[in-house]
Chains A and B, each alone.
Chain A
Amino acid sequence: MTNFESLLKIFKEENFEERLRILTDLVREMSGSNSICLYVYEEEHKQLRLMVSSYDVRQDALKIKIDTLSSDLSSPFVYNGRNAIPIKYDGKVIGLITLDPDKTIDNSTNLQIGTILKILLDYEKSRSTISKLTAMEELDKEINVVNTGLDELYQKVLNFAVRVLNAERGTIWLIGDKELVLSYTAGISANEILKRRIEIGYGMIGWIAKAKEPLLSTSSKMDPRATLDIFSFAIKSAVGVPIIRDNELIGVMMLMNRKNTDFYRTYRHFDEFDLSLAVSIANRLKMAITQIELYTRLEKENENLKELQKQSEDYINYQKEQVRLLNALQKILQALRHTQDMRNIYKIVLIGLTSNSGFKFNRALLLEKDEEARVLVAKEWLGPASENEVTSAWQSAKADEEKYADFAHYLQEEALRIDLSGGLTAYARGKIFSYTGDYIFDRVINRSRIVHVTPMLSAQRGEEFMELLNLLGVKEFVCIPLVGRRDVYGAIILDNKYTGTPINDDMIDILSIFSESVGLTIESLKSYAELVEKTISLEKQRISAEYFKDFLQNILENLDVAIMVVNRENKILEWNKKSEELFGFEKSKMINSDTNILGPEFADILTVAEKVYDAKETINLSDYHFTFNSKEYFLNMTFSPLKEQDVDVITGYIAMFEDITRRHMLEIELRNRERLAVLGEMSAKIAHEIRNPLSAIGGFAQRAKKISNDEKLSKYIDIILEEAKRLEMIVNQTLEFSRNDRNLNFTFSSLNQLVQDIVDLYFEKFQLQGVRLEFEKDPKDPSLKLEPNHFKEVIINLVQNAFEAMKGDGVIKVKTYSDDKFVYVDVWNNGDPIPPDKIDVIFQPFYTTKTYGTGLGLAICRKIVEDEHYGKISVKSDKESGTTFTVQIPKDIDLKEV
């Protein structure tokens, strides 16, 4: 064989060891040695590794440490009885050949061998590099990072490592909580695993984790780092690498027991190449992990971003909707501001809540608060009445809305146009809900809270507001109060019966603004209306107060009682017309003057008046005899405390003076007359009683004289007769006197005045008995010639008779009237009528129905009226019209007899 053929043969071989063997065979041939060994020099280990041997070599001679040799390898030496020839290349030792002791190779052959060996070694190195690169490429292809999850990655990489490194078994352990957890296996069955968790530092795997260094264990049995208790199979050799990412240990990959492949001699174990491959694989793994994690993170970030973006969008939409709702609210308030009518206000609110441009609720129910009854009354309900109506209702509503550019404008117009009395309102109208103690309405009305009833709440506590639920027919609704500053005016219930749209918290927030804004608007409108009403009422009051004031002033002025009002500072506040007349002071001088302007004569009166401040009640002085300006008065005085309305403070007094001077005089006169009359009566009665006996005495004395013969007797009888006559004269005179007939004094008198005197006389007396004496004066106030005393006597008589006919309460009316010829006085009473048969008889003397009196009254009246005044006295009496005595007297009396 030529050299070229030999070379070809070497390179034809696939395997490094085979190539070396061919080389070795060639060398053996050439040298003629029987046996040969070829060692390769490993620089890093300073050892010669036996690659090829024609005979069995002891295990421990597989490697020769340089420093155990006696030679420096510059030239051949003897090793274990054999000829050891160093193979050099470029002056460096790259191998060793051992031959039989007597065989050798020459230098040029040595050089050739050296060159070939070098080439083979380099080739092998390149091949290994290439195969590593190829393997890495393969690995890269295997791991399709984009579509691979971490889990898948680990397993794929492990599988690959195991295959490429020809390991029997492979494991990946991952760090978990300060220990290594067996996470992935290849070529290991579950029952071979003894431990799945190991401490860092424990065994080879633990060592790698601790040291963070790759490990190559070629004889694990001997390796002090190895432990036997992790797996049940024997570990002969192992290669392990840490998986480190960012200086942090993620885990450990450990491959165990290189497979027997193409060995012809010894068991092969893992070598440096395997280790470096494993390291590269680990690197790749690390990168892949990083990438995956990066991708995952990126994806997450991306999703986060998407989520954020969506949230952002959602938020923007939410904000948009909030703004829209706020705008809608603004428009509603604007529309409200232009409305005065309460009913329209409510309509605007309801429309705004249900409108598509507004709050978009399906239905809105308005309840008004009735303060007195303490209930809520359902007033109006806006919304489609049933499912059927929904589409058409909303379409037409939408169409209407679109006609208007301005929502507020739409609301105002729609409120005017819309009629809520039918449809939905009919179901609710008039329904009453108490708001005290009611689950929902108590919160809404008494605590001004919005109550959101959710389906869950309806289910749990629906019984507490069953009636409302039945009315509404929905499971979710919200009830808002219409609350102003001072009060809650009602409530609105909103729901989405037809669309089922849930009511969310943001809507509730806006509704709370709504509830207050609308409440305040209602309140201010109500206040305004109240204000207008109050103003009108005040104006009315003012007018009526003015009228009343004038009226009172009028009364004050025209009262027949003198009135003076004085304040605590003794200033005169009031002085009426009668006061002017009575005391002679003019009003203008008196008002605001001090009371001492009245003069010293008033001093006592004022002292009494001021007692009112202490007494705190009215003081009366009757029949007070008062001399003023040389005039004598008789006054009834009343002093009343002046109080401000509703306040218990006395600010002055009211003094009232009733001038009873004339009446007093009249009363005195009357008393005199009565006395006289009694006297007269008595005299008359006595005289009367005397008369008969006197007649008898005189009469019989005369008869005695006639039959008397005796002169002396006659004389005596004469004396008796004379005395008797004297007595008779006295009797006559007495009787005449008592009749007052001598005082016949005709004067021109005012009819009204004379009658008035009598009325004055009897007014109070009668009043005390419950009889009202009225006098209707003839406005013409006629005056005529009358005998005033006698005329008065007639009136007195008639009035007294009328009084006695009353027998209790009643009225006596006296009326004067006149025509051209006559004056008339009527005295009317409504007592029992005079029986018709007695009508004529009553004027007869001594006719009386009384147990007292002479019965001469009416007879005398008749005499006075008919005889003295040439008049007529008559009477009309029946049950219906009462009893009227009429005195008729001619105006023009010629005193001469007609």
Chain B
Amino acid sequence: MKKEGKHILVVEDEEPVRMLIKEELEDEGYKVSAVKNGKEALDFISSQDVDLVTLDIEMPDMNGLEVAGKIREMKKPIKILILTAYSHYKSDLSSWAADDYIVKSSDMSEMKKKVKELLED
């Protein structure tokens, strides 16, 4: 399990949450970058290698789904993890660009688990 060298990009508009996620993931040993909106995210991705992106849905300008869509258009091998406040969109994932989703919560363990899973294959 190579955690090293995996570059995660966190896309979150609210600063405390952004900071929290970044720090939690950095605790896990990943290289974590954070941007605050979709545009910055796309710019970032096009210039740097990223292995996984966490996307908040509720963002001004571009929402997470749109970003996910655009990331997919770029055809880069990037895993997408959606962070949502809603707990009931599991089944929708199948048609989405995202690979998985988690419900936002103060408990970061679920998120860490999902990230690990996604980066493993």
Interface positions of A (Cβ within 8 A of B): 687-688, 691-703, 721, 724-725, 728, 732, 735-736, 739, 741, 840, 843-847, 859, 862-863, 866-867
Contact = CB atoms under 8 A, between A and B. Distances in A.
B106 A695 contact: yes
Interface in B28-87: 57-58, 63, 65, 85-87
B95 A844 contact: yes
Contacts of A859: 89, 92
Give the secondary structure class of A's interface.
helix
Contacts of A741: 88
A692 B14 CA distance: 8
25 contacts: A691-B85, A691-B104, A692-B17, A692-B104, A694-B106, A695-B20, A695-B105, A696-B14, A696-B106, A698-B107, A699-B20, A699-B108, A700-B20, A702-B106, A702-B108, A703-B23, A724-B106, A728-B105, A741-B88, A840-B95, A844-B92, A845-B65, A859-B92, A862-B92, A867-B91
B104 A695 contact: yes
Nearest to B16: A696
Would you list the 4 A-B pairs with minimal beta carbon distance, nearest first? A698-B106, A696-B16, A699-B20, A691-B85
A778 B115 CA distance: 50
A844 B96 contact: yes
Contacts of A699: 17, 20-21, 24, 106, 108
Contacts of A843: 95
Contacts of B91: 863, 866-867
Interface of B: 14, 16-17, 19-21, 23-24, 57-58, 63, 65, 85-89, 91-92, 95-96, 104-108
B91 to A, nearest CB: 6
A845 B106 contact: no
Give the secondary structure class of B's interface.
loop
A153 to B, nearest CB: 159
Given A692-B104, A844-B96, A736 B87 contact: yes
A278 B46 CA distance: 185
Contact of A695 (B17, B88, B96): B17
A724 B16 CA distance: 15
Contacts of B21: 699
Contact of A688 (B16, B85, B89, B107): B85
Contacts of B23: 703
A688 B85 CA distance: 6
Given A692-B58, A692-B85, A846-B57, 10 more contacts: A697-B106, A699-B20, A703-B20, A721-B106, A725-B106, A728-B106, A741-B88, A844-B95, A846-B63, A859-B89
Nearest to A741: B88
B65 A846 contact: yes
A867 B89 CA distance: 11
A691 B87 CA distance: 12
Nearest to B18: A696
Contacts of B85: 687-688, 691-692, 735
A696 B16 CA distance: 6
A866 B92 CA distance: 11
A735 B95 CA distance: 24
Contacts of A845: 65, 86, 89, 92
Contacts of A862: 92
A701 B106 contact: yes
B88 A863 contact: yes
A696 B20 CA distance: 7
Given A688-B58, A845-B92, A693 B16 contact: yes
Contacts of B104: 691-692, 695
A864 to B, nearest CB: 11
A317 B92 CA distance: 124
A877 to B, nearest CB: 18
Contacts of A739: 88
Contact of A732 (B16, B65, B87, B96): B87
